Amino acid sequence: MNSVEIVERFWARVWQARNPEAIDEFVAEDFVITNAGQDIVGRENFKAWVRGFLGLIEDLEFEVQESFQNADGSRVASRWIIRGRNNGVLGTEPDGRPIEFSGTAVWAVAPDGTLLHNWVERASWELYRRLTA
């Protein structure tokens, strides 16, 4: 199974296209995203979280740097960069300034290619410091 292709299709259809509804094509009903140490559980809650995040960054651009998988395809890791303009990300004042930050994501992938869990780490502290300096 080429899980990298599945994850990169997810990046393209959801984040690059800014289309949370496409999540239905990829993730399990009980999907979990662990972000900033908190779990968002369930496909519908994940879609709401993505909608909210998209609203915080105007003109969001999502660029995948690289993705790779383990031997059996049950895990995929990706490095990515987000660019756009600040519309209140990280609780900051929406000032339209250009922003850019990097992150990583590790995915659990079922044998049928369904995405089960995503653990995300991003350079939030560095971005927050730049926006509040």
pLDDT digits (tens, 9 = 90+) for 112-133: 999 999 999 999 999 999 999 8
Per-domain residue ranges of the chain: 3-132
Q: From CA 43, how far away is CA 95, in angstroms rounded?
A: 31
Q: From CA 127, how far away is CA 89, in angstroms rounded?
A: 9
pLDDT digits (tens, 9 = 90+) for 4-57: 999 999 999 999 999 999 999 999 999 999 998 899 999 999 999 999 999 999
The domain defined by 3-132 carries CATH number 2.40.30.10: no
| Entry pTM | 0.92
| Residue closest to 103 by CA, chosen among 128, 85, 129, 77 | 77
